[in-house]
Structure 1
Amino acid sequence: MDERVPLIKRDNSSLQQKKNSHKSEYTKAKLSLFVMINYFAIEFAGLTQPQYIYSYLENALESNNTSVDIHNNISSNHQNNCFNKSSSSADESREQASSWTWYISLAEYGVAFPVLFYIGPLTDRIGRKPLLLYNTVMVFISFVLKTIVVYGRFPLQYYVAASAIEGLAGTPFAFNLINHAIIADTTTLGNDRSLMMMIYDALLGLGAICSNIGTGYLIQLLGFTYPYLVSSGLLLILPILIFCTLEETWKPPKDKSKTSVFKLPIKNFTLCFKRQHVSNKLGYFIANLFILLLVIFPYTSISSILTLFLLGEPFCWTSEHIGWYNAGVDFVKYIGGTTMLKIMHSCCVWLKDEIIIVFAMLSSIAYLILMGFSNNDWMVYGAGFAAIFRVLCIPLLKATLSRKVNPTKQGVMFSNVYLFEVLSVLSGSTTFNNIYRQTLTVYRGFIFFIMAGFPVSGLILMGFVSCFDSTTIQKELVIEKVDIQVPSSENDVKGVLITQI
């Protein structure tokens, strides 16, 4: 080796790698803060929404009782009225509340569906940060309008219109889509990515825990307007933080060709029809995408139905009680689930994500079945504890799909995932809210048994996919005869090379 050759180039390369590594860690830390602020704000108002609608309709039906004011101590009056009024009156309030919840979901996610067709491909073309700013600003405008509607006690039709503006932002699904693309930019393949996606969901849970505890007491003390005010204030701060602190993590290709606006959404379907974008079997990728749909379908519609379920007989919970329960369940799911995942990744290296997904599906099934049978508070608490592994299913399936897609198509891949989620919300809200209304007089918990059928179907399909994948791997080991030319003074030597295709 020539001693005069400088080693600066090698040192610069090493320093650049360390710099990029530190930059990725800082980006993850900033992302964690943004996620907590956003989800706290969204959940703070989201938990208030079904309770506000229920109370609004409850007071509209009780025209003879004019002493109850929706801005004041609704929560304490609700528990007294719940046991005193007839079962038919309570069921009517819940039926109407369920219908209005469906209208709001239809306006919000019906508008968001075509928006998400564009956001995914655009993140791969113009970058992550501009679209993240667009989403947060539009959501802020929507929440300001919702605050005005709730404060002025305007008809619920105005609330539906404000929700449609949130749909133009792409809803929180667009926010999560872009953030998952950023995670894919700043993580390596393997357990690092799946763990970071689980931490992302755990941060969502941490924001939910804080909002669950605070929402009930704020409603109890100050009424329904103040949760919306708090959410609007936080959503004002969020785009300012993103603009000032977040650096772009994705550099769009310089030689990008011009694409028609109408052709851009077609890019969402390229993953399902072009093998060069998927690093594994295309059928295996589509099957995992369908399993994700089966898991998400009941998951996206359960929150509002569960709130209405617990507000009515035989529970008659107050907003504080519901808040503490949701906080406890979120703590068990997100904090406990993330801890268990880290332990399994550290202590059981042989344990694949697919096996953990099976445990998560079983946990989800147990939660829904126990909730369906619940007729007292302790059974509801037991169902919440059974959900400890449930939260692992969705982030691990997303990580599995992300690992099988080329880095240049991460935005499109997550766009597909969240388009499935929007479809799940739209169809799930229609399906489950209608079933809930029709089965209230028959059996109040029947809806949860129907929801449990979807993770059961996903579990069966997961078994078939796992068996097919293991069989395929065994068949891929083939023996080929290859001529190897070895320099020799005598004869050439021919060997047999065992290769893995």
Structure 2
Amino acid sequence: MYSYVLYERTQAKMREQYFPNSSLDTNFSACDNINKTSLKYQQHKQVQQQSANWLIFYNLGETVPMVFMNIVITAYTDSFGRKFLILLTTFGTFFKAGMLSLIVTFDWAPVWVVMSYIVYGFTGGMFGLLSAVFAFIADITYTDDHRIIGIVVTECVLMSTSMVAPYLSGYFVETLSLGFSKTSFICVGMCFFSFSVLLLLPESLAKHNRQKAQSIIQNIKRVTDFYVSKEMKGQRTRYILLMLSFWFATVAGMCRTSIETLYFLGQPFCWGPSKIGLFMTAVNAAKSVIGLGSLRLLQVCLSNPVIAIISTVSLTISYIIEGLAQSTLVIYLGPITGMFSFLMLPMIRGMMSTITPADKQGAMFAGVAVFEVLSSLVGSIAFNGVYSLTMTFMNGFVFLCMAFLSVLDTILLLAYNRIKPPPSVISVAAIN
């Protein structure tokens, strides 16, 4: 939730910094200033551009250290279990939330946000947490469909937090008039509660199933072997196709929320925090409820790769609608057309996990985490940059670029679907 507070606070900070004596910082609405040559409109555009630039710095500070930490730490979960990484990353989230609360309360410069993101990155971050959780699920599931359902349910829980967070952010800041500072401290309390509960989590990886601890170099080799080692034989092509499709999906998806926040604050929508929160809630509700609800039925009729392909088509259509929309009614068609898009990433994770031996799940998910971090970094720089450069002539152009990447995903998954399915290795995991 603090991410949404931060996005809105950054824009407010830019207004204060660049136009301290302008009425823009209190009562400007781009919808009331249709004349694009007016001074206030130009100031508004500059504020949005500077906000987009700072979002790039935030993501750089977070993702650069994450790349190294995830390729090293996550692979060690095959040796030391999953719980230690879950606790480490959760503590990092608590620290980050605490720092952001102080930054908002004492009105520190945005550079301090970057510093807090750097520290957070060195704890593994959200990607490290997800890798440990997915490896945890792999430890306790023994069939293809059950493992994929477990991963989808986890993503659904994550989606539900994304559904509630923007609404609560807008509700606390705007409706209850708590402001950014008090809202950020509420986030700190939530993070502390989560860390306390996770202390009670049992370890999923039995000691007799753990690998002997290896050097950092050896662990990096274990992570990359899936894509370059001759030992993988015919499996390499499957891993490469799945990872490329995962890459393109996350490059666009990871920065979508931050860009949407800026997009809806400006023309032609000019929404406030509460309205943005309601839209995000509608989007995530449609994706999680319909996506999760339809998964079991789809698995009865279709193979997992085909379900993933359907989700990419659904995602492509939603991107196009969002990019071309000029009214609230059309914007709300996005969640309807994109109702199956939620399934794409968990389906890809699940398909990768089901072809991976039990003692390599941590290493495999470490590679996924690294690609996820890199895609977040590339996506943040690329798409925030595209938005900053194209917002003067077409605000929604950035979403059309995302749609193009989604088309590439469809092509890659179609290629994967033509490959003869490999034998499942989950049965081996169950026996061990």
TM-score by length of 1: 0.79
* Distance change (3 Å), C-alpha of 1:448 and 1:67: closer
Task: Classify the secondary structure of the residue corresponding to 1:395.
Answer: helix
* Distance change (3 Å), C-alpha of 1:468 and 1:131: closer
Give the residue type in structure 1 aligned to 2:365. Answer: F
Give the residue type in structure 2 aligned to 1:284. Answer: R
| Counterpart for residue 230 of structure 1 | 186
Encode CA deviations 1:387-409: one digit per residue, 9 max, x unaligned.
10111000001000000000000
Q: Structure 1 residue aligned with 2:53, among 99, 113, 129?
A: 99
Give the residue type in structure 1 aligned to 2:270. Answer: C
Could you tell me how far 1:434 is from its partner in structure 2?
Answer: 1.1
Q: Structure 1 residue aligned with 2:145, among 176, 188, 191?
A: 191
CA contact (8 A) 1:83 1:313 kept: no
Q: Structure 2 residue aligned with 1:403, among 335, 354, 374?
A: 354
| Counterpart for residue 53 of structure 1 | 10
Equivalent residue runs for 1:420-435 within 5 Å: 420-435=371-386
- The structure with more radius of gyration: 1
* Distance change (3 Å), C-alpha of 1:89 and 1:261: same
| Counterpart for residue 63 of structure 1 | 20
Aligned residues: 416
Could you tell me how far 1:239 is from its partner in structure 2?
Answer: 2.1
Encode CA deviations 1:337-365: one digit per residue, 9 max, x unaligned.
100112323xxx24101111111001110
Task: Classify the secondary structure of the residue corresponding to 1:176.
Answer: helix
Q: Structure 2 residue aligned with 1:458, among 404, 409, 412?
A: 409
Equivalent residue runs for 1:191-340 within 5 Å: 191-220=145-174, 221-243=177-199, 245-253=200-208, 256-257=211-212, 259-274=214-229, 281-340=235-294
Task: Classify the secondary structure of the residue corresponding to 1:239.
Answer: helix
Aligned equivalents of 1:82, 1:160: Cα separation in 2: 32
| Counterpart for residue 70 of structure 2 | 116
Task: Classify the secondary structure of the residue corresponding to 1:224.
Answer: helix
Could you tell me how far 1:282 is from its partner in structure 2?
Answer: 2.2
Could you tell me how far 1:376 is from its partner in structure 2?
Answer: 1.2
Q: Does 1:131 align with 2:85?
A: yes
Could you tell me how far 1:98 is from its partner in structure 2?
Answer: 0.3
Q: Which moved more, 1:374-383 or 1:95-104?
A: 374-383
Aligned equivalents of 1:100, 1:128: Cα separation in 2: 34
Give the residue type in structure 2 aligned to 1:108. Answer: E
Aligned equivalents of 2:384, 2:210: Cα separation in 1: 48
List alignment gaps of at least 5 residues for structure 1: 1-43, 69-76, 474-501
* Distance change (3 Å), C-alpha of 1:450 and 1:269: same
* Distance change (3 Å), C-alpha of 1:263 and 1:468: closer
Q: Does 1:355 align with 2:306?
A: yes
Aligned equivalents of 1:378, 1:254: Cα separation in 2: 54
Encode CA deviations 1:133-180: one digit per residue, 9 max, x unaligned.
111112211211111011111111111111111111111111111000
* Distance change (3 Å), C-alpha of 1:137 and 1:378: same
Give the residue type in structure 2 aligned to 1:271. Answer: F
Q: Structure 1 residue aligned with 2:366, among 405, 415, 420?
A: 415
Aligned equivalents of 1:154, 1:421: Cα separation in 2: 30
Runs of 4+ residues deviating >6 angstroms:
none
Aligned equivalents of 2:27, 2:113: Cα separation in 1: 22
CA contact (8 A) 1:124 1:252 kept: no
CA contact (8 A) 2:88 2:123 kept: yes
Cα RMSD after superposing both structures: 2.1
CA contact (8 A) 1:120 1:268 kept: no
Encode CA deviations 1:31-77: one digit per residue, 9 max, x unaligned.
xxxxxxxxxxxxx1111121111111122222214896xxxxxxxx4
Give the residue type in structure 1 aligned to 2:397. Answer: F
Could you tell me how far 1:272 is from its partner in structure 2?
Answer: 2.0
Could you tell me how far 1:274 is from its partner in structure 2?
Answer: 3.8
Give the residue type in structure 2 aligned to 1:385. Answer: I
Aligned equivalents of 1:415, 1:397: Cα separation in 2: 15
Q: Which moved more, 1:212-221 or 1:148-157?
A: 212-221
Could you tell me how far 1:79 is from its partner in structure 2?
Answer: 6.1
Encode CA deviations 1:394-443: one digit per residue, 9 max, x unaligned.
00010000000000000111111111110101111111111111111121
Q: Which moved more, 1:256-265 or 1:321-330?
A: 256-265
Aligned equivalents of 2:45, 2:183: Cα separation in 1: 27
Q: Which moved more, 1:247-256 or 1:119-128?
A: 247-256
Aligned equivalents of 1:83, 1:61: Cα separation in 2: 21
| Counterpart for residue 73 of structure 1 | none
CA contact (8 A) 2:210 2:359 kept: no
Q: Structure 2 residue aligned with 1:163, among 117, 126, 139?
A: 117
Report % sequence identity: 22
* Distance change (3 Å), C-alpha of 1:256 and 1:355: closer
Aligned equivalents of 2:415, 2:222: Cα separation in 1: 29
Aligned equivalents of 1:468, 1:202: Cα separation in 2: 29
Task: Classify the secondary structure of the residue corresponding to 2:216.
Answer: coil
* Distance change (3 Å), C-alpha of 1:155 and 1:258: closer
Q: Structure 2 residue aligned with 1:87, among 41, 54, 68?
A: 41
| Counterpart for residue 3 of structure 1 | none
Give the residue type in structure 1 aligned to 2:80. Answer: I
Give the residue type in structure 1 aligned to 2:16. Answer: N
Aligned equivalents of 1:315, 1:254: Cα separation in 2: 54
* Distance change (3 Å), C-alpha of 1:467 and 1:265: closer
CA contact (8 A) 1:139 1:165 kept: no
| Counterpart for residue 467 of structure 1 | 418
Could you tell me how far 1:260 is from its partner in structure 2?
Answer: 2.5
Aligned equivalents of 1:430, 1:304: Cα separation in 2: 12
Could you tell me how far 1:257 is from its partner in structure 2?
Answer: 4.5
Could you tell me how far 1:236 is from its partner in structure 2?
Answer: 1.1
* Distance change (3 Å), C-alpha of 1:100 and 1:277: same
CA contact (8 A) 2:79 2:210 kept: no
Could you tell me how far 1:83 is from its partner in structure 2?
Answer: 2.6
| Counterpart for residue 131 of structure 2 | 177
| Counterpart for residue 145 of structure 1 | 99
Encode CA deviations 1:93-114: one digit per residue, 9 max, x unaligned.
1100000000000001111110
| Counterpart for residue 11 of structure 1 | none
Give the residue type in structure 1 aligned to 2:393. Answer: V
